[in-house]
A and B are shown apart, each in its own frame.
Chain A
Amino acid sequence: MAYAYLFKYIIIGDTGVGKSCLLLQFTDKRFQPVHDLTIGVEFGARMITIDGKQIKLQIWDTAGQESFRSITRSYYRGAAGALLVYDITRRDTFNHLTTWLEDARQHSNSNMVIMLIGNKSDLESRREVKKEEGEAFAREHGLIFMETSAKTASNVEEAFINTAKEIYEKIQEGVFDINNEANGIKIGPQHAATNSTLSGSQGGQQAGGGCC
């Protein structure tokens, strides 16, 4: 229940790439074989542990359909992390990444961590986008990259957790302003008090980190 940090995520990408399935697999460890078109956004949450700390992830799964684009844009600003998903069996979903990325960069805060995800890795026989292409795109745009399968759960945990790790590191580095909730980060209720004293000694902490 009690958490050290709370991160807000959004999941974006073309319709049918498996965004809702990724969320469902992450929160409920289930797979949904039929496409249940998302209307607007749906909320999901789960607790994870990083570096021995409880971190609450609040995730907004957005609709990929063009008609919902204006609604889903409202969610960029307050998110600390974004999973940008394409479908490795549909090249068009990969081709649209640039548009998605532009949209995200334009509406989100500049520190938002973006994880590029090539989903449906279980469908190797129908693959249209090589893993190397995904890697190259991620490298070129400074994103983290991973291929996942919401069906077999392969790399699903990792995708969410690695994104959180990246955000966590950014916090340690002092990149994020954790007191501004608009960044999609919140300090846990009972940690808030201890953290204020911690922040006082943060200089010392950082010095310690620097010497290592």
Chain B
Amino acid sequence: MNFFRGVMGGQPSGPQPTGGETVQRLCDRVASSTLLEDRRDAVRALKALSKKYRLEVGTQAMAHLIHILQTDRSDSEILGYALDTLYNIICNEEEEEQDMLASPSIPVSGKRRNLPVPEDNAQKQEEDLGVLFTEKFLKDPESVMLLLTLLEEFDFHVRWPGVKLLTALLKNQCSQVQGVILVSPMGVSRLMDLLADSREVIRNDGLLLLQQLSKGNAAIQKIVAFENAFERLLDIITEEGSSDGGIVVEDCLLLLLNLLKNNSSNQNFFKEGSYIQRMKPWFEVGDDNSGWSAQKVTNLHLMLQLVRVMVSPGNSPGASSSCQKSMYQCGLLQQLCTILMATGVPADILTETINTVSEVIRGSQINQDYFASVNAPSNPPRPAIVVLLMSMVNERQPFVLRCAVLYCFQCFLYKNQKGQGEIVATLLPSTIDANSISAGQLLCGGLFSADSLSNWCAAVALAHALQDNLTQKEQLLRVQLATSLGKPPVSLLQQCTNILSQGSKVQTRVGLLMLLCTWINNCPIAVTHFLHNQENVPFLTGQISENLGEDERLVQGLCALLLGICIYYNDNSLENYTKEKLKQLIEKRIGKENFVEKLGFVAKHELYSRAAQKPQPTFPSPEQMLFDHEFTKLVKELEGVITKAVHKSSEEEKKEEEVKKTLEQHDSIVTQYKDLIRDQDAQIQELKQQVSTLSLNNEQMQAQITQQQSQIQQHKDQYNLLKLKLGKDPQGLSSQGDGAQVNGLNTEEMSQLREEVEELRRQQTLLNTQLSDKDTLINTLKSGAVVVQTVEAGTESSANRELLSELEVLMSRVQSQGSEISQLQAERQELIRRAEATASAAPPSSGSSADATEVSDLESRLAAQTAETERLKEECRGLREGCAGLEQQLASAQSTVAVEQTEKAKLQQEVQESKKEQDDLLMLLADQDQKILSLKQKLKDLGESIDEDEEDDLDSRDQFDEDEDEEEDNDD
């Protein structure tokens, strides 16, 4: 303080130094003092002046202060003063700053950021200064890096002002600071550590810093999430008491919103991290509702918004639906519905809850079904839908609440045919339950009540029950309304047009016209019903042709749209109101150009594009409640086609019809082609399979053939052996011829006889030799024949037959393949012919080019298939050749076998013959033996003695002969 006094008031005699001079002197001191204490005092003094002389301190001291941050790293006190000073000159928010100075803890008010900022001049100047000094600070990106390193300093006096300074910098020059932090190594990660600081002030200001840091920067948002921000923030929220917690909870929620809004990657991470489940307990707000503090309302509001961010209709459908699913599974939807039906919930929370429930169920069948089953805890219990609709058509309810209910109803019916059917059913005569209030009753009541807002809401709600649902459009035609007693009931359609013609409020008429357009759109029966009432067309033409004021323009446009639909979806079943007649009517009564201009009023309306943006009905004021989101889609879809339809002459129309037809034909041809190709694909697949089995068969057969060939070779060898053996036989047989002679009986004859006996003996020996020779031969032959027979029986009869039958199968497959291929070819030819025909016949309309590409695509596929077929054919041809070869081989094998068989027969016959000869010889031999015996006897009788040896001799000779025979065999 001494130093301070010395600078400020130490020279009472001289002129008071200006602020600028003082600041300059302090800056010099900071720059030149070698003593830390001097510098510290100077910086402290600068801090004290920094608010009063913000401009001076900012312009003159900034560089010195940054220098201090670099050089005096070891003294946390001087660092603290320097950071505070920098904060004071950079920060704009006077109030907040004062708040913070007054009490270092965070203020409790939930309204802190909700205060409107007064836009007066002083404020503006302040802000300019802040931005100016921020830019100056950012000139050197190193300063931000320096600040980041200082934030790692644990000392409270450094860390806290550091956090505040960085937050202020971010507030003034967000993207630039974000950029520097993003490229500094681990910049974002280090800032995340602030959330772990045990000192609440720093943690809480860290939250504010991260809020600013993550604003609009997806890359930073993702890094923050990666650094476990979700986990930490959800933990803090729980620790602080969830919705009952203070502003810290609010800050956590704001940061969560920043991280998740429009960041699909983070949303996915949030969902995959099972954090949706952790939101459920937030909404367990008891029914006692003893206190709804402003902070609690704010917290719950943000919590609901967080749920909505995850299931926003703007998200990718897949992402939203998986979140919707887990919200149902973890019971979050159920919890929200409890709030919906609870009592004492503040209106704005109730409204936001309805909006949230809407988006949680939108387009999700399970969630919609659940919602339909929710009952209000009334006596008797009523469906939540009915209770909500009661509010929608109740004039005394707040406008935003009524809008929310309408949104909820729309979301309930969105892509929900079942729900649409249930709502329409409550209006049908057969299902009306007179005892309880139904959704249908409420909607009808709203439609015809005196309150135009109710009219509009009910009309739009009913239109949503018909959206894209032909069945319900037709069902609703059956609805009859009881009017005053005694009069016949009138149809709902009729009643709508009646009210329309009675000239009620614009809002009512707009609502009814939107309902009628949705109803009869794409539903020729409803068009006919509408046209059937003779008053309707004159009313519409009257409305359109009249020259009405600005207010009526929208109604005129909608009338034109309705009439246009009557033309476009006209099935010409009413003679007076055919397409043609209606067009003539337009030309006569309104004029084509005029009609189209009026039609254009709808989409040109100032509120149209606003409604087209998002499904939720939001309007600045009740009077501006005119357009429905779904309806804007319908307008977009119909405006063009109706304009065309009206401009077209009947001839053009006919042509158009034809073109349409040919296009349809074309389409059907294309589908035909596709089917054909699909069939061909399958056939090719099948053929491929066959080819592979055939080639397998082929291989097998080839193996069999080689086997058979070797067998044949074996046969041949055996046959040659036989032939060789047989070759010797004829010689033996021929030498046997003249062996036997008959001898005389006299004495003279004796010698002769002896000689003869000798001769006979010799001959017998010879014969014996030959006989045994023959015997062995016969034996070998016999065994050979058996072998031949068995071998032949084994191979030829079974294997050959197999081969043959397989060959036959193969052949027949090849044949069927061939025929299939030729069939394919024929089909292909046909396709090509048709493709060419359609290509030339295709009308030059816009659709045909797409078709042409499709056809060319098909053609190229056909070409590919042809090539494939060609290849298959080639393969088949190869196979066929293989088969022919096989057949040839088989034939030759067969002929060999045949030759062998005849040869074998010949051999067998020869064997037979030689056997017979042998038998004859044996007979002869026996005869001769007999003769010899009788001769011997005669000799005995004549007194001649016969050597007994002679007989033995005969035997021994026999034996000798046999030995000789054996030797002969061995010589072979």
Binding site for B on A (CB under 8 A): 1, 8, 39-45, 56, 58, 60, 70-71, 73-75, 77-78, 107, 181, 189
Beyond A40-B222, A71-B219, A73-B185, is A181–B273 a contact (Cβ under 8 Å)? no
Taken residue by residue from 216 to 253, chain B's Cβ proximity to chain A (1 for < 8 Å, 0 otherwise) reads as: 00110011001110010000000000000000000000
By beta carbon, the residue of chain B nearest A189 is: B274
Q: Which residues on the B side are within 8 Å of A56 (C-beta)?
A: 272
Contact B268 A45 (CB under 8 A): yes
Q: Which residues on the B side are within 8 Å of A189 (C-beta)?
A: 274
A6 to B273 CA separation, bound complex (whole angstroms): 9
A39 to B219 CA separation, bound complex (whole angstroms): 8
Beyond A40-B219, A43-B265, A71-B219, is A58–B273 a contact (Cβ under 8 Å)? yes
By beta carbon, the residue of chain B nearest A10 is: B226
Interface flag for B188 (CB, 8 Å): yes
By beta carbon, the residue of chain A nearest B266 is: A43
By beta carbon, the residue of chain A nearest B265 is: A43
Contact A45 B269 (CB under 8 A): yes
Q: How far is the CB of A73 from chain B (nearest CB, A)?
A: 7
Binding site for A on B (CB under 8 A): 182-189, 218-219, 222-223, 226-228, 231, 265-266, 268-269, 272-274
Contact B269 A75 (CB under 8 A): no
By beta carbon, the residue of chain A nearest B274 is: A1
A135 to B231 CA separation, bound complex (whole angstroms): 39
Beyond A73-B185, A74-B189, A77-B186, is A41–B265 a contact (Cβ under 8 Å)? yes
A42 to B269 CA separation, bound complex (whole angstroms): 10
Contact A41 B269 (CB under 8 A): no
Beyond A58-B273, A78-B227, is A41–B189 a contact (Cβ under 8 Å)? no
Contact B182 A58 (CB under 8 A): no
A77 to B186 CA separation, bound complex (whole angstroms): 9
Q: Is the interface of B mostly helix, strand, loop or mixed?
A: helix
Contact A43 B186 (CB under 8 A): no
Contact B226 A78 (CB under 8 A): yes
Q: Is the interface of A mostly helix, strand, loop or mixed?
A: mixed
A189 to B273 CA separation, bound complex (whole angstroms): 11
A39 to B182 CA separation, bound complex (whole angstroms): 14
By beta carbon, the residue of chain B nearest A6 is: B273
Which of A39, A45, A74, A107 contacts B226 (CB under 8 A)? A74
A58 to B228 CA separation, bound complex (whole angstroms): 12
A42 to B267 CA separation, bound complex (whole angstroms): 11
Q: Which residues on the B side are within 8 Å of A60 (C-beta)?
A: 226
Beyond A74-B189, A75-B226, is A43–B182 a contact (Cβ under 8 Å)? no
Closest 9 CB pairs of A and B: A45-B272, A70-B183, A43-B265, A40-B219, A43-B269, A74-B223, A71-B219, A43-B268, A42-B265
Contact B272 A74 (CB under 8 A): no
Which of B182, B265, B268, B269 contacts A71 (CB under 8 A)? B182
By beta carbon, the residue of chain B nearest A75 is: B226
Given A43-B265, A71-B223; 13 other pairs, CB 8 A cutoff: A1-B274, A40-B218, A40-B219, A41-B265, A42-B265, A43-B272, A58-B273, A71-B219, A74-B187, A77-B186, A77-B189, A78-B189, A189-B274
A152 to B266 CA separation, bound complex (whole angstroms): 29
Q: How far is the CB of B509 from chain A (nearest CB, A)?
A: 49
Which of B185, B222, B228 contacts A181 (CB under 8 A)? B228
Q: Which residues on the B side are within 8 Å of A42 (C-beta)?
A: 265
A77 to B190 CA separation, bound complex (whole angstroms): 11
Q: How far is the CB of B210 from chain A (nearest CB, A)?
A: 14
By beta carbon, the residue of chain A nearest B268 is: A43
Q: How far is the CB of A38 from chain B (nearest CB, A)?
A: 10
Q: Which residues on the B side are within 8 Å of A73 (C-beta)?
A: 185-186
Which of B186, B218, B272 contacts A58 (CB under 8 A)? B272
Q: How far is the CB of A30 from chain B (nearest CB, A)?
A: 12
A44 to B227 CA separation, bound complex (whole angstroms): 16
Q: How far is the CB of B54 from chain A (nearest CB, A)?
A: 35
A1 to B330 CA separation, bound complex (whole angstroms): 11
Which of B188, B231, B273, B274 contacts A74 (CB under 8 A)? B188
A60 to B272 CA separation, bound complex (whole angstroms): 13
Which of A8, A44, A74 contacts B268 (CB under 8 A)? A44
Q: How far is the CB of B487 from chain A (nearest CB, A)?
A: 62
Q: How far is the CB of B871 from chain A (nearest CB, A)?
A: 22
Interface centre among B186, B268, B272 (most CB of A within 10 A): B272
Which of B182, B189, B227, B274 contacts A70 (CB under 8 A)? B182
